[in-house]
Each structure stands twice: as C-alpha cells, then as structure tokens.
Amino acid sequence: MNTKPSKTPLISCSSLRKTFGSKKQKIVALDDISISLSGGGLTLLMGPSGSGKSSMISCLGGLQKPDGGHVYAFGEDLWSRRPRKINKFRREHCGFVFQSVGLFPALSAIEQIMLPLKYLGWNKKAARISAQNALEEVGLGDRQFSRPSEMSGGQNQRVAIARMLAKTPQLIFCDEPTSALDGENGKRIAELLKEAARKHNAMVMCVTHDERLLPYADRVIQIDDGVVISDTESGISV
C-alpha cells in the first residue's frame, strides 16, 4: 500500500472504457481503467503496441470521447461538458507532443511557438517573450531564427516541446516523443519533461517504449490489452 500523503489529482479517470469497431468485431482499447494523476512528476505510460496507450492519452486530453466511465479534470467531469467547452479546456490547459514533430517547414523556431499563442489571443509582445523563454528553457535560446531544415531531429523535437511549454499547460501529454531520436537526445527530452513537471507543477504523462527513460520517471504505469497491469511510484506499488 502507498503510505505517502495523497495529493489532489489534476486529472483522474474512473472505469474508463474506449472501444472501436462494430458490435460484431469489437476492439476494446481501454477496459475499465481508473487512475489519478497529480502535478509535479513525470509518469511514463508503457505497454506493447496496440495496448491502448494512445487511446488513453486522447481520452484524458479531451481529444477522443470515451464510451464509458468518467474523466475528471481539475475535479470536473470533462466529457459531460459541451464540445466547445472541451475544446477550450484542451487549448488552455493541455499540451501535446507527438512522435511526428509537426513543425512548419517555412517558419523559424520562434515563429513556430508564437503562432499558436497568437491563436489563443495573446498579444505579439507577450507571445514573443513567452516563446523566447520557452526556447531558453529547452536550451535553444540561440536558435530562435532557425528553420526545421537547419536543425537536427533532437533540436526540432525540443522546439516542439518549447511550443507546448510556452502556454504553461498544467496537463502535458506526450506520445512516443523520443522514438525518432537517438539515446542521448531521448534522455534530453525526458529531462526537459521532468523539469517542466517540477517547475510548473504540471502533470506530465509520456507514452514510451524506451526503457532508457525509466530513470527519469516518478511513476510508471504499464498497460496491456487496455488494462493497467502495474502502477509504481518511486518503486512503490500504487
């Protein structure tokens, strides 16, 4: 049993269920999952291909509606809200980083970061300052004006992380962010995610196959066939 004092979760789910396909051929991606996630730590979500990791992230992050159960974000039932409110929640509070970095080829690093901030209604000056700070945070303060073709895969993934961090989201979801990177760059990304969790008291959930990231994890959740098979926090079963 975990004897640590329980922290208020930023996000949790109860009896979460997600299925795909028809009645005849039903695929159960998430099967009755209940977990709570608090801020300040890096949680790795691990499991074989097809075990439900991406489905989990999209149901928790407001991207994909579950078929059953509840997601509570900041204590409120996320999927009972109207779609417009869910979109607002996602834009304001969630940050996503995926394996495919998704940068615009023609934009410089600082422009990549400022663009979504402007879309969120930030003024140009505030967006520029936040983008500069985020680039500093990921160690690319001197690459503001570089375009994706002028940087390495690891540097571009750091730009994507800076873009995600610039609006200081409280809920950060990463889906295999290091799988296209070599070991050293992968570790760098894990360090940045852990630092972001600590510094901003954010919840960071990171899907990975990469066992080299394990030393950076505060918690490791293993899923298989849509079911949590182990959940350990600093070596203690949760």
Ligand X SMILES: Nc1ncnc2c1ncn2[C@@H]1O[C@H](COP(=O)(O)OP(=O)(O)O)[C@@H](O)[C@H]1O
Contacting positions for Mg ion (CB under 5 A): 53-54
Which residues does residue 231 pair with via DSSP β-bridges, in sequence order? Answer: 221
Q: Where are the alpha helices (DSSP H) in the chain?
A: 53-60, 83-93, 109-119, 124-137, 153-165, 183-200
Residue 67 touches ligand X, criterion: CB under 6 A: no
Side chain identity, residue 136: E
Nearer to ligand X, 51 or 155 (CB): 51
Q: Which is nearer to Mg ion, 53 or 90 (CB)?
A: 53
Alpha-carbon distance 74 to 81, whole Å? 13
Nearest residue to 42 via CA among 151, 153, 175, 196:
196
By CB under 6 A, residue 25 contacts ligand X: no
Q: Which of 197, 200, 238 is nearest to 219 (CA)?
A: 238
29 binds ligand X per the rule CB under 6 A:
yes
Site membership for ligand X, residue 54 (CB under 6 A): yes
174 binds ligand X (CB under 6 A): no
| Closest approach of ligand X to the CB of residue 62, in Å | 16
Q: Which is nearer to ligand X, 39 or 47 (CB)?
A: 47
Interaction site with ligand X (CB under 6 A): 20-21, 27, 29, 47, 49-55
